[in-house]
Structure formats: C-alpha cells, structure tokens
Chain A
Amino acid sequence: MRRLLSSVLMLVVLALAPAATAADFIPAIVFDMGGKFDKSFNQMAYEGAEAWRKENGITYREFEVTSPVQREQALRQLARRGAAVVVAIGFSQGPAVATVAKEFPAIKFTVIDAIVDAPNVQSVVMREHEGSFLVGMLAAMASKTGRVGFVGGMDIPLIRKFAAGYRQGALYANPKIEVLENMTGTTPEAWNDPTRGAELAKAQFGRGVDVIYAAAGGTGLGVYQAAKDAGKLAIGVDSNQNYVQPGTMLTSMVKRIDKVVAEAFSSARNGTWQPGTRDLGLAADAVGWALDEYNRPLITPAMEAAVQQATGDIVSGRITVSETCGNSACTH
C-alpha cells in the first residue's frame, strides 16, 4: 500500500513539474529598488515589458529588488531557471550582472544604465545629458525669477550627468540664469524619500527658484507635490510624468527605457541580440522631452521652436553637451 502511494505521489510530482525545454523562450527582467510602480524609471521598464508581452503573447519572469543584497540572488535565480535573456534595470545592478554573467556564460544579459564588459552582456547607456539639456532650456525660458533648481536622487555620476545637461541647457537659453542643485542623499534610500524631496524643493522655492527638475525616482513625487502646493513648476524624469500633476509639470525628460527593454527581448528572440555597449542619445530618439495635453498650455510656440532647433543642433553635432560640469559653472 505504501509503495503504491509513493509511486502515485511520484507520478503526481512528475505531472506537475513544468515541462521547461530549451524551445521555450522566457525573457526575464529585474527591477531595481524603487519598485516597478515608481511612476518613473522602473515603471517605464515595466511598461515596456508589459507592452512586449501583449504584443508577442509571451510571459516574462520578473523580480523586484527590495534590498541591495537581493540583486545577485535574483539574477542568479532567473539565469538558473533558464531565462533566454535577463534584463537588469539600473546602474546599481552593474556589479551583480558582472558577477552572475561570468557564472552563466550561456545566458544573455542586458544591463541598462551601467557598463559591464563581458562577452554575454549588452550594456545600454543613454545620453541623459542631452535630454536634460532640452528640459533645462525649457526651465530657463519658463522661469520668471531667473532661478531654476535641480533635485537629484542618490549622488552618483549618473545623476550628475542629468544635472550637468540641465545646467548647460538652462545657460544656453538664458546666460544669466542661476541654477541651484540639491542631492537627496548618498544611499539608495535617496530614491524613495518623498518627504525629503518636498523639503528640498521648499528650500529652493524659498531662495527664489520657480522651476525644479527632479531626477530622483520616488523622491521626485514629493518635489512635484511641493511644487503644486507652492504654485511653482516642476519637470519630471525618465517616464512621461506630465500626468502626475497637470498644470504643475512643465514637461518631462523622457528616457525610453521601455523601448530598450522591448528591443532586448525581441532581439534575443530573433537572434539579433549583440553584446557590447550601446550609447543611445537624442539621435536614436532614446531621450527627449514630453509634450502632451497635460503640459500643452505651459509650452509657448517660441519655447517649442527653440527646443526643436536645439534638438537638431545636438543631433547634427553643432551643440555638444558635456557629461560633467565639475564645480565650475558650465557655459554655453
């Protein structure tokens, strides 16, 4: 009787085990801290993955990292379960991808916002400074006080790139503009502290700023709320955040992470996926600024024309936007 029972159990177990074969194409994505509903960076990646799923009818595996120690674990787990390609979102996943990619040389990895030099890793970086240049111009043209602000999330070179581009754009549109900069913090918690974001925004408003660009993930939501409460303007980041506070959001610096994610999935599927570094900017339409029904009333035709002119000039190389400003003010 016992033997019968155990063999029946065995059969049940076998029947329930997923019939995973190499023919199944299952892509995977690892979101970073902030979560896939941060209304910003991770959410954009999520939307890209969702759109791809609906289009192709293929589900993907996902993991939301909630503490830094989970990154390697998540990547390893997905690689072990035979993901066709693992897309890792966020600069802070770089070291984890480097480690895990070495352990699984047959698995493809795409990392966004970090550069990992390995034969099975595709690194996608974007020219945030170019997109930030454009919204910097808009901020300077919309400002009545001649002072614009920037609130960054974690103080890292990537966010400095946003700040540098913004400063250059603002100075390009108005050489007399004053740009105030704040960083929320130096730890990953800086991406998720809206209270602090609101306080930094209020401090800048108190010093005469009337447009703030926040590149700070979830912290930015506090900045936008503070801008709305004070009747000032704010600029969103990564995804089109114009809808978050209509009438307050001057525009958003859009980073088309959704496109990158979908491209990574599709290219891995049809065999065109290539390792190496992809550096995508305005020319590739990977960054830009958002104009929709929510911010239409705030953008004058003159502003739109000036930004379009500058877009062309950056693409053609007539304007070069530097990635860093150092401690001296960027001039243009």
Chain B
Amino acid sequence: METATQILLLIAAAIRLATPLLLAALAGIYAERSGVIDLSLEGKMLAGAFAGAALASVSGNVWVGALAAMATGILLSLLHGFATVTHRGNQVVAGMAINIAMAGLIPTVAQAIFALGGQTPQLGPAQRFLGLVLPFADGDGLVAQTYARLLSGHNALTWLAFLAVPATGWLLYRTGWGLRLRAVGENPYAVDTAGLPVARLRYQALVVNGALAGLAGAYLSMAANAGFSRDMTAGKGYLAIAALIFGRWAPVPTMLACLLFAFADAVQAQLQTVRILPSQFVGALPYILTVLVLALVGKGGGMPKALGIPYIKERGV
C-alpha cells in the first residue's frame, strides 16, 4: 500500500507539473499547425503569469486574472502575427524578440506598479485556482485512493488543460476550420487558390495560441504559486516546444510527451531524497531523457510543411 501510495503521488505530481507544459504545447500546436513557428511561448507565459497575478491581486477575483492572462497572451500573439504574417518577418527572430523583451519588460512594469522588486503581491485564496476536492474522495482501498489522489485535488486549470486535448483534436480533425487551419500550414498556396484567406486563418490560430499560452502562465502564478516572481517560467516555454516536436504536432502524443517530461521531473524530486545518487546527476535526468527520446523517436514526419515560411502570394511553390 505504501508503494502504491508513493506511485500515485508521483503520478499526481506529474499531472501538476505537466499542466503548464501542456497548455503551452497546445498553444504551440495551433500556431505551428497554421505554419507559424512559435518560439515566443516562454515570453507569452511570463507575460500571462504577470498579468494574471496582477489583475487577480488588484480585482480580488481569480477569473479576472485568468481573462487578463489570456488577453495578454493574445496581444503578444497579435504582435507576433503582425511581424510574421502581415510583414512576413522571420518567425524565429520575432519569437525570440518577444521572449527577450518580456524577460526585461515584465519585471520593470511589475516594479513600477507594485514596487515589490518585480513581484506581485501575494495572492489570497480567492485570487488563486485552488485544488478542487471531488466528492467521496476519502475512502480507503486502492480504487478509492487512486480516485482521491489522481482525480481529486486538481485545480480548474489542470482540468481545462487536459480537456483541451480532446477539444483540440476535435477542432483540428473534425471541423472545417481545423481542416483549413491544417491546410494553411501544409500548403498555403492551395488554400489561397481555393479562395480562403491565409493571413486571417493564421491570425485566428494565433489568437487561440495566445489565450492558451497566457493561461499556461496564469497556472504558474495563480495555481502552482501565489503571485508572480521574476523569471518564474524557468524555461518551461522551451520545454513545451520540445514536447510539441516530440508529439509530432498532434494533441494526444503531445500530451503524452508533456506527461513524460513531467513524470521524469517528479521522479527526480523523489530520487533526490533517497540520497543514493548525487543531486547533479538526478537533476540532469529529465534532460537526458529528453535528448534520448528525441534522438530515438524524433525523426520522421508530422512537421507542417509550410512551417516557418512566410506566405508570399506571388512566389508560387
């Protein structure tokens, strides 16, 4: 029973750690499936984390914070779109520019507003996404424990992230909009020839992308923690991109990739306390795993064919 509880705790930790990765990776799927490389997930998350915590703190309402985080993400996505879709700028450069700008700008704005050294005030319970304890989550026995530890106790954003996986699958593969979106990432010339607006479709994808990336940030500042602090994304935006590539730009494999990374991270935390291996080695495990997995599985298709190529009407294929 003790071992079973430990394993359940590990999986629960993996689900918590996977949530921000999953939201960001899904955000990336929308952008990249429409043909826009999104390296700016890190910056959007950071901005979303700040906007969420700041507005939640000022308004006292968790949902106001969440909406602000989404709006901020969307705003940055539109900026990204303006540079790369409207003006056909280099998508990688524009994405990195957003990351670097946010890393500097956000703490400055935070300091100007709150004067707490680039942090927001600490959030109270009403301003955060707290764990939702499901009914009947107090029984003994393996089934009841599994239910109590794995399903109960997660917050609204975690539920949203995992429900967004089938929703994204349905949107991309079962709707006309999804078909057009995927087409614009594979062959925008064909889409244009069919009389559909390439730029508008890419902008639509970027709006969804921004909202999800902002929520990924809100998870960090409003669910996992209680307030924004500098550099709190700590590279999770880049890890999300790795998960999305590993998941070959498809929702379910991407979710599994996020869970794998998160599980390695959770195991890492547990292994350290056993004091068998040096912490440096244990700390490197998730990254070693990432490299191994990408090396073994990373080759092969899935990448949208027009990814990274700005659409210019006259050029032809």
Contact = CB atoms under 8 A, between A and B. Distances in A.
Interface of A: 35-38, 149, 155, 180-183, 185-186, 189, 192-196, 198-200, 202-204, 206-207, 218, 221-222, 225, 229, 244, 327
B97 interface: no
A186 B224 contact: no
Interface string B1-34: 0000110010001001100100000000000000
A260 to B, nearest CB: 21
A181 B117 contact: no
A82 B17 CA distance: 49
A202 B6 CA distance: 12
A274 B127 CA distance: 51
A327 B275 contact: yes
Interface residues of B, number: 35
A203 B273 contact: yes
Contact of A199 (B235, B269, B280): B269
Given A37-B118, A195-B220, A222 B275 contact: no
A203 B9 contact: yes
Contacts of A198: 224-225
Given A36-B117, A155-B280, A200-B269, A194 B231 contact: no
Given A192-B229, A207-B6, A222-B225, A199 B273 contact: no
B194 interface: no
Contacts of B160: none
B280 A35 contact: no
Given A192-B230, A229-B130, 8 more contacts: A181-B273, A183-B272, A194-B224, A198-B224, A203-B13, A206-B9, A207-B273, A222-B225
Contacts of A218: 229-230
Contact of A225 (B119, B226, B265, B280): B226
Contacts of A207: 6, 9, 270, 273
Given A155-B280, A207-B6, A192 B16 contact: no
A185 B275 contact: no
B275 A195 contact: no
B234 interface: yes
B135 to A, nearest CB: 20
Given A35-B117, A37-B117, A181-B275, A195 B224 contact: yes
A202 B265 CA distance: 13
Given A182-B273, A183-B279, A186-B280, A199 B13 contact: yes
Nearest to B267: A203
Contact of A221 (B9, B229, B234, B273): B229
Interface string B221-257: 0001111011110110000000000000000000000
B220 A37 contact: no
B214 to A, nearest CB: 17
A56 to B, nearest CB: 24
Contacts of A192: 229-232, 234
B130, B234, B273, B280 — most chain A CB neighbours (10 Å): B273
21 contacts: A37-B116, A155-B280, A155-B283, A183-B272, A183-B279, A189-B231, A192-B229, A193-B234, A194-B225, A194-B229, A195-B232, A195-B234, A199-B13, A199-B16, A199-B224, A203-B266, A206-B13, A207-B9, A221-B225, A221-B229, A222-B224
A203 B279 contact: no
A189 B265 CA distance: 16
A220 B266 CA distance: 18
A203 B117 contact: no
B16, B226, B265 — most chain A CB neighbours (10 Å): B226
A200 B271 CA distance: 11
A37 B119 contact: yes
A147 to B, nearest CB: 10
A236 to B, nearest CB: 14
B225 A195 contact: yes
Contact of A182 (B5, B13, B272): B272
A162 to B, nearest CB: 14
Nearest to A209: B273
Contacts of B116: 37
Given A186-B279, A186-B283, A181 B231 contact: no
B283 A185 contact: yes
Nearest to B5: A206
A171 to B, nearest CB: 15
B269 A203 contact: yes
Nearest to A42: B117
A289 B42 CA distance: 39
A155 B231 CA distance: 20
A247 to B, nearest CB: 14
Nearest to B149: A206
B266 A199 contact: yes
Nearest to B130: A229
Contacts of B235: 189
A38 B107 CA distance: 13
Given A192-B230, A199-B17, A155 B279 contact: yes
B269 A182 contact: yes
Nearest to B20: A195
Given A36-B117, A206-B9, A194 B232 contact: yes
